[in-house]
Structure 1
Amino acid sequence: MVKYIQHPLIKPDSAEQRLYQLDLAGKALSSSTLVVLPTGLGKTIVALLVMASRLETTGKKVVMLSPTKPLVEQHAAFFSQMLNLKPEEVMTFTGNLPPAKREKMWEKGRVIVSTPQVIENDLLTKRISLRDVAHITFDEAHRAVGNYSYTYIAEEYFNQAKEPLCLAITASPGSSDEKIAEVCESLHIEKVAVKTEDDSDVAPYIHHKQVEWVHLKLPDEMQSLKGLLDKVLEDRIQKLDELGYRLPYGKKTSKKELLGLQRKMQGQLRSGNPDPSVYSSISLMAEILKAGHAIEVIETQGVGALARYVDRLEREACTKGASKASKRLMEDLFMRQLSHRLKECGAEHPKLETVCNIVKEQLTSNPDSRVIVFTNFRDTAEMVTDALSEIEDINPVKFVGQSSKYKDKGLTQKQQVEIIDHFKQGNFNVLVATSVAEEGLDIPATDLVVFYEPIPSEIRSIQRKGRTGRKHAGRVVVLVTKGTRDEGYYWSSANREKKMQGNIKQLQETLATDEQENAFIKEKQRSLEDFDNNVEPADESGPEVVADQREIRSTVTRNLQKAGASLSVRTLEVGDYVVSENIAIERKESGDFVNSLIEGKLFEQISNLTRTYEKTILIIEGGGLFNARRINPSSIYGAMLSISMDFETTILHTRDAEETAALILQIAKRQQGKDKKPINPHGKKAAPILSKQQEYIVSAIPQLGPQAARNLLEHFGSVEAVMKACEEELREVKLIGPKTAARIREVVCSEYKG
């Protein structure tokens, strides 16, 4: 007989009572806890139990954070279904909601389910406070490293809340001691609670998961294509060696090692007086990375995926701002041969046929099955989707992230949610997905998961496998191409998974030993505080810094607040940061600086800044300034000289967002002193000067670029004269041919039809 959880805030007969979940929830209620539980065993139920208890005992609100909108909506629907609360008390927060509306909803809601970026933004803009939050659950807690939003929210929560308690849940915290320790430190974890499939209270709920490895051979025709790429790679490696940069493992040097060497080269550029060979080496490194990726694609993905990648390389090489590396690579004899032979190649990677056969066999034997095929690359996802759609009774759908690029449009979050719903309902029976589907999606009926290729990450491998075997037995098939990096990834992932399980157990034992020491230290701290009641609290209010709304996307604002600044976020017409009535700061990451220079925005922004404020500062953040877009260093030096001398703007360089924040804080302290006078940002962007407006009007005509528009205006003297000129007169102007002249007259003279 099934027993159900009984709690005033949990609807009767809605959640099955499992002892391991009650045990984990009990531990999580005693102190902030990292819960590690295999996928499909109800981590969300553990969160539900903790949340319901805190809601009942404190009367305050609780928050659950999840990394993506589909997961947020999934969790919100679950809590609405399970909790004895009014529908309007369970709130869903995503970036689609206007900030002002979120602020009002925050006041009324008792359960807030949100993406972390939204909560971080609302904290920085002071729309919300975590003071009255009784509990926060961090879903997919392995993400809480580096500058991810989880780390900032946790820090603010433990600073603001009177009785903070957090629960971190994950199936895969990472294989290294450092990674697990970083997650625990970021989220203020005091205890780790682990359940594995071998535990006696978990074993009855485990469904068998059959894992198969299918080994395939790369066809001779594809080996021949790979041979062309090998020649390109060997040539670049040899040239790099001649310049004094030797790759330790030649062609087998990992991408991580290549990127490390690239960073070293960029560091030498910033040294002040680099050897000219460094520029050539960086360009060669870019070619090596592109050629190496192409080899990985042909080895592990297929001809179709490689053809798409080469098409993008060719397009990149033909663009106006193409780098020397892109042009040189596509002019290479072997790359030209590759491009030609790809169009004639009749072979395809055996993985494609194998996937089709495996999926067809599964759906033939069980027509109600759901199948997920995971691929590393979008090109492959599209190729697999197209191939499966040719098979009767298979209804596949591609499931990718939001970003779009050439011939590759992403999915909006709304589209992602709709696809998952259709997949659950059976309108689609195969989901062909990239990494976006790895985390958390609850699709109980998934019977088969196919890895188009192994992945070296133990976290992602566990997440992928966890999409099956949730409610009944499941099957996982991993495709491996013999003699390629597929095999290296296979062994890497297996070893890391094994290491992770051992590290989790070890960490659990270590924290259990340390718990008594921590309790003793806290007691000593409390006893010392008893003697400090008469001490006047220090004035913790730091200097005021006003930041532009768009700067929330960077981590500078977070670091400013962390460093003690009194931060306010507004929409600034001019500048990124204002630290006094007289001083404004423009911040640009090195890549953004170069892009702004190329696009012609840089001097307009600096002009607006100097026109509005008495003193202006430009902060250039990060390295790679001289190889961000392969622009001539003389152009960058010239721009910086003009900014410094013509616009009298101080230029300062910082290594990262943390250093930028520290610098802005020091400027604010020095300028404001002890008085801390309130700041009133002022100024608006200057309207484009008349000549620019005239150029804009003329260049709006199709087939006319900015230079052609300037030529026309210089020749005829006004917009009106350009519009009145006949075709013969127009053709007299440089860059205006017969077709362009005819087009201008067509636009000017044709009747408007709406």
Structure 2
Amino acid sequence: LTQASFAEHPLVWEGTIDHRLYQKNIADAASHKNTLVILPTALGKTMIAALVCADMLYKYRDKRVLMMAPTRPLVSQHLKSFSAVLKIMEEQVAMVTGKTVPEARRAVWDKRDVRLVFATPEVVRNDLEEGRLHLKDFILLVFDEAHRAVKDYAYTAIAREYVGQSMHPVILAMTASPGAKKERIQEVCNNLYIEHVEYRSEEDGDVKPYVNPIDVKWEWFDLPEEYRYIASVLRSMLDERLKWLVQRGLLGKKKDTRWIFKRDLIEAGEALRYRLELTMEEQRGPIYVAIMNQSAALTLYCLELIESQGAHSLRAFFERIEEEGGRAHAALLKDPKIMEVRALVEKAPVEHPKARRIVELVKEYCCGSSDSSNKQQQKGRVLVFTQYRDTARHIVDDVLSSTGIKASRFVGQAKRQGDEGMNQDEQAAVLQSFREGEFDVLVATSIAEEGLDIPEVDLVVFYEPVPSEIRYIQRRGRTGRKAAGSVVILAANDTIDTRHLYASKRRVERMKESLSSINAVLAPVKRAFLEPNPVTAEELAALEGWRARAEERLRKEVAEEIGKKKGGGPVDAAVLDAEVKSRIQQLRKKAISAEEEMLTGAFQREVERAARRIHTELAKAGVKGADVELLREHLSLDYPVLNEALKKLEKLRRLAWRNEDTVVLADNLAAAKGDIYSIRVEKVMQGRAVVMINKKWRARLNHYDYSGPRELLKKGATFDVVGELYRQEGVLGLKVKQIV
């Protein structure tokens, strides 16, 4: 591939894929040998695959490309993304999944005019085994989520068959994370016949030009003695609770309490709460106990506040949870150690050293230097990022205000206890005032990271390190600064700041160490030379003509819409052109921006809501599970949201796949022993329900005999169960083992 082939590739629509050097470099390698591409979220794995596919389809006009992804929603998402950027006719593209009947699949495999096929791996493996598919005509196979290519997963068999059947096999495998262990990466490479591994982060030389050029400086501070003592009390309290959770296996495989972070505790809490939702009231005692101990997350939060933010934030947190109430909050506040900490925080007059440094930095950048030889701007602007609203308020109202520096908060819309948040109009007004120079410093919480566009900023300050690479990219890359600038990251020694930094670096270093030695041991794949047979000028013209006809149909539809709104009469050509252009751009943007959108907080909140709704639907569905496409339609979910929600539930071990199309609650995967009964709920009382069984017998359903979704226990509800009948003191009872 040449540089021009990325900006103006014959099979890529103009303006749909940005030219990025690292994508060019990776695609160059992937076009000639089997390549495993490891890229963090939002660096564009999908577009690299699209570029490689475009090049192969263009160079070898009589060959085909097969792209696979583990689930049907992912396959659909890729089809939309590729269709938005590649010059390819609708009839030249096909999707093959378990929903496609064998005869129709055979027709796709046999029809060589279908040049680009998107499929789920189970179907591909089955059709290879049944003789419906031969891979000799495929010039490229793409394996998405390639880290799954271990043991007997379908990817392994497909790659083996492909290398055996094709004279010129080329494999492109993609993943965001293959795991840090060298053995795991080696297994994936062996199973997919990988000859070369390409790994990038935003720190790499060919990636840096496409992220905002900035000078990053770390500044470290020692905590005051008062803070260190408070932290020691919280740490001793935290260790007790973490050991309790570790002993009961509630934190996965983690054993060392030093390397348990808030994220681990939050995930444990989510898993426990999902379990709680499907549990009758009287059975919740043990789960409540586990959740109370899982509230170690609250203790860890307190520790993070005193070490990383300051006494003001911890004091505000105690006041807020006291007002909110709640069982976990009340238990925390009654703990003797927390009572001691609270008393100390109330007395602590000492400011966190980070706050003092904020004042110095702001004065340096906003007030400039009195030295005329200093070319620094006399009036710069500073953006301060912090994770916490309390800290943002404290910096603006207390720290900076006391020194006469004008500043404003910028926070999200969500309402919190004692904080109304900011609506969109208020946010827009603050940003406009900042641009116009009405104040010098903007202090923004993390929820404002996405979409914050302030090109005039000279300095960005991180009040605390961010533990995730995604958050780091958001803070650096989402500010929209066009010119080089500076970033100062403030961190406290021997605190959670240090542990966040070390844990993040350790993950990256282990991965880099593993990958650096992998390429040296990968074996080349023997392949015959294949003479290029490129797409002709006439064929290209036909492809472009097909799109032109499609756009003309869209133009007519838009003209009719505008005409109806106007109540008849001619439609202004300029208005029509603008609307058609806008709609085409929206369609393309929606198709290719899913990966970048995953960084936003709004997207993650939507995923969380979707996960809970999916969990409820699967609880109702019972052992049969639910078809993912029907779930998507029923819940009105976009593919990116659906895919991430399914991944979330899978990670929490709440969901399992029966096949490529059907998901089921993990608890329902193993069939229970017993007879199947049809149930109709007649009456619901405290601790029990009266049900009619098989329209014949009336029975009691006690709370301890039912662990299914509470939503089903409503008068008039009907459902099937696997269960067991018994008599107790002459009363017929039913023990429900599983919802069918």
TM range (shorter): 0.3 to 0.5
What is the TM-score with the length of structure 1 in the denominator? 0.46
TM-score by length of 2: 0.47
The higher relative CO (CA closer than 8 Å, separation ≥ 6) is in 2
